[in-house]
Chains A and B, each alone.
Chain A
Amino acid sequence: MCNSALASSLLLLLVAAEVRAETVDATITTMVAGRQDPRDGILYSSVPVIQSVTLDVGDVRLRHVEDLRLVVSGWGELTLGAAPVLEGATGDLDIGFVEGKLFDRRLELRLGRQLIFGGAARLQPMDGASATVRIWRRVGLNVYGGVPVTPRFGVHQGDFMTGGRLFWRLTVDSEVGASFLEMLKDGLQARQDLGVDGRWRVGRSLVLTGYALLSLLELRLAEGDLAATWQPLSALQIGADYRRTSPDLFLPRSSILSVFSQETRDQAGGNVWWRPISRLRAEADYHVILAEAGFGQEGGGRVSASLGPAFETTLAAEVRFLRLATANGYVQARLYAIQRLSAVWVATLDLDLYSLEQPINGQTLSFTSAATLGWDISARWRAVVTAIADTTPQVTSRFECMAKLVYNAVYRVRVRQ
């Protein structure tokens, strides 16, 4: 897990004598929770202590390199629990890279653990290197290569990945691209995809987006997406979208199960967001689903109102449903409230109920209630206490609580010339 982090650290140490950082952003969060985990019908109590740190070391000055920075985000967890499976220490690095720009910012290099996003890469964490070069005017190329990050629970996604995206940036918010990705796993091709994508703003109020991903190994469309978002007024947004996926192509081609199916799923619908007055917001969405098993539909709506002279109270109600042709479905109703008690105190309440069409573990109802109290101790410190009680298809009843302490600061080290 730490190969790229080690490389980044070494690189930093090597150049440390020659560079100096002027700004360090730090966010440090400590979370302590008392939790009840269901395992095979038995509730085990556990107390996880999580410490996370995010550092952004910027304004690092090095000759010929601009915007040089080091970004690290990692965490460690120590869990004390009654069940052996829940006990132990763990930790990982979410992000950890060094980046810099060369040749008048025409070439951007990034080395370490990073998120690769855009085009065929979808959003893939990777330990490796990426480079983005502006080839000519608004045409650029992004290439990358490395090892896909193996996340928690040992989900081994692949041994190596490489790819790139050629893009043409029409304006700052309109861009089209063509991309390629290949991922190897256990010596076999897990993915080999070709993608095209685009985002185009028409006038000031209409945005069109499109995306298509072709599996070169199966010569089938793995994913296609078309959407239009129209915002005729700042208080009104209307959207329509169509999406086709081939769920079996989301399995690695190296999986033995990838040869059993060639299913498709289509989804079409729309959404609307409306703020008739500054204190009231409403949104709704509805989609028809056509899958191998038949028709389905999903949708929902939410209304939220801000009350009080300084909008200190927010009340919201939400309803959602999912109905599938042959599988289970549900109807969900949720109420939540946010109350600003003072400039530094805030309380929230969340009540969430859903009803299943068919029982799971003999239960069709699930109810969760959560209450939170937050205190901004100072500009940099924040404390949050949360209590959750629920009765669900998994547990008859459960109670857990959590305390969170956040330290958020920016250290600026001014270097006098």
Chain B
Amino acid sequence: MKRLGLCLLVVATASCAPWLTIRLNYGVDAIRAPHGVHKNAKVECIACHEEIYDAKTLDKRVLPKEEKCLECHREQKQQGKCSNCHTDVKRALPWPEREPTLRMSHADHIDRVKEDCSVCHKSLPNPLRAADAAPPMSACLSCHEHKQEYDDGRCSRCHIDLSRYPLKPVSMFSHQGNFVREHGRSARAAGATCTQCHEQTFCSDCHANTVSTKIEVKFPERVDAGFIHRNDFLGRHSVEAQGDPASCRRCHGSSFCENCHTQQNLTPQAANPRDPHPVGWSFPGSREFHGTAARQDITRCAGCHDQGARSICVDCHRVGGIGGDPHPPGWQSRHDRNEISHNSMCLACHP
């Protein structure tokens, strides 16, 4: 019932979501304010952006109100030349609001650059293209303090949330080449850097072991992605598992294998068990002897026989059993006999 309740809750939440949309109207008009023309006319930046002295965040854009423009351009307005500034006169709007993506206090910077805006704003921004407005990141990193934060990977000191905004990655994060192949190695030693842009939900699509379905099923249209279990992986999974047993074991425990193998009647626990082993499995000296196979790939045995003290191995290999000592060479040098009394698993064979 709990699971059914959870399902219903998820479905109900999902069904309501589209109606929760908050529509934002950014309009279509844009305001022309050619910086070059103003600079050539010897207009100081502060003349139009005077509120910059008090701007501690980028929440509110520090752009001149119409009254400020009209101090110089009143004549054009009176002549009805609205298109001098507005790209869409019929739907003329004030400066559009914009979601800030950075934490930046102009008030804290203005004195440090001695009111010279060009220290950061290397080129004059084009107000019709938002991407041009911000200084390049190299301008920020030219200060020691920000270079230090960058090297420390403390991106959130400046970037509000990198996972939310599609930024063109800078050189070392451009994920060029065969990045997917190597990403595990990088994430293992420098995962904090990954988390600056990627939320854990991004990783969990492939790596969470609770997922509803395989990533290959979830994204069938991504035929170009290097998914592991694509198409008929099931048919060759036993081959892949022998090729790299540890790779499977990173995500799948014994019960994962056993559950399906039992349903396929391959384990002793199945209702109508089939014997998947070769003929010489029980005969010492045979090429297919199970002892040799177990020494070479014990994880394969664990796919069906990992039931602790109830394991079929215990029947023969317990102390005094016909199977003899199963421990590999050198075992006793690493394990004291006193371990037996402290370890309930040992007691299965050493009562």
Q: Which residues of B contact A157 (CB under 8 A)?
A: 253
Q: Which residues of B contact A119 (CB under 8 A)?
A: 188-189
Q: Which of B257-294 contact A (CB under 8 A)?
A: 259-260, 263-265, 272, 294
Count residues of A near B (Cβ-Cβ below 8 Å). Answer: 169
22 A-B residue pairings within 8 Å (CB atoms): A50-B213, A73-B208, A91-B7, A97-B200, A115-B203, A118-B192, A157-B253, A199-B186, A204-B171, A247-B246, A247-B297, A248-B298, A248-B299, A250-B246, A250-B299, A256-B307, A291-B297, A327-B243, A349-B223, A352-B232, A384-B221, A393-B235
Give B residues with C-beta under 8 Å from A: 2-4, 6-11, 13-14, 17-18, 20-22, 24, 59, 97, 99, 150-154, 156-157, 160-161, 163-164, 171-173, 176-178, 181-182, 185-193, 199-201, 203-204, 207-213, 217-218, 220-221, 223-224, 230-232, 234-236, 238-240, 242-246, 249-250, 252-256, 259-260, 263-265, 272, 294-299, 301-302, 305-309, 311, 313-314, 326-328, 330-331, 334, 343-345, 348-349
Is A271 an interface residue when CB atoms closer than 8 A count as contact?
Answer: yes
Is A98 an interface residue when CB atoms closer than 8 A count as contact?
Answer: no
Q: How far is the CA of A346 from the CA of B150 in the complex (A)?
A: 39
Q: Using A94-B204, A219-B334 as known contacts, list a sample of 18 further A-B pairs with CB atoms less than 8 Å apart, ordered by residue number in A.
A: A28-B14, A40-B272, A73-B208, A74-B6, A101-B156, A115-B203, A125-B209, A154-B255, A167-B192, A172-B150, A172-B152, A173-B172, A218-B334, A273-B178, A349-B223, A352-B230, A372-B223, A386-B221
Interface SS of chain B: helix, strand, loop or mixed?
Answer: helix
- Nearest CB on A from B328, distance (A): 5
Contact present for A209 and B185 (CB under 8 Å): yes
Q: Which residues of A contact B218 (CB under 8 A)?
A: 29, 31, 404
Q: Which residues of B contact A123 (CB under 8 A)?
A: 187, 203, 207, 250
Closest B residue to A123 by CB, please name it: B207
Contact present for A51 and B14 (CB under 8 Å): yes
Contact present for A171 and B151 (CB under 8 Å): yes
Contact present for B243 and A298 (CB under 8 Å): yes
Contact present for A173 and B190 (CB under 8 Å): yes
Q: Which 6 A-B pairs have the closest CB atoms?
A: A237-B177, A76-B7, A151-B209, A250-B249, A155-B253, A199-B189
Q: How far is the CA of A388 from the CA of B163 in the complex (A)?
A: 34
Q: How far is the CA of A251 from the CA of B343 in the complex (A)?
A: 16
Contact present for A256 and B308 (CB under 8 Å): yes
Q: A53-B13, A119-B188, A259-B331 are in contact. Are A327 and B242 (CB under 8 A)?
A: yes
Q: How far is the CA of A192 from the CA of B256 in the complex (A)?
A: 22
Contact present for A366 and B299 (CB under 8 Å): no
Q: Which residues of B contact A154 (CB under 8 A)?
A: 255, 259
Is A342 an interface residue when CB atoms closer than 8 A count as contact?
Answer: no
Q: Among A52, A289, A380, point to the contact of B212 (Cβ < 8 A).
A: A52
Contact present for A197 and B188 (CB under 8 Å): yes
- Nearest CB on A from B150, distance (A): 6
Closest A residue to B150 by CB, please name it: A172
Q: Among B176, B232, B244, B309, point to the contact of A366 (Cβ < 8 A).
A: B232
Q: A73-B201, A169-B192 are in contact. Are A265 and B245 (CB under 8 A)?
A: yes
Q: How far is the CA of A260 from the CA of B295 in the complex (A)?
A: 7
- Nearest CB on A from B143, distance (A): 16
Is A293 an interface residue when CB atoms closer than 8 A count as contact?
Answer: yes
Q: How far is the CA of A29 from the CA of B165 in the complex (A)?
A: 21
Q: Among A188, A271, A293, point to the contact of B297 (Cβ < 8 A).
A: A293
- Nearest CB on A from B169, distance (A): 12
Q: Which residues of A contact B299 (CB under 8 A)?
A: 247-248, 250-251
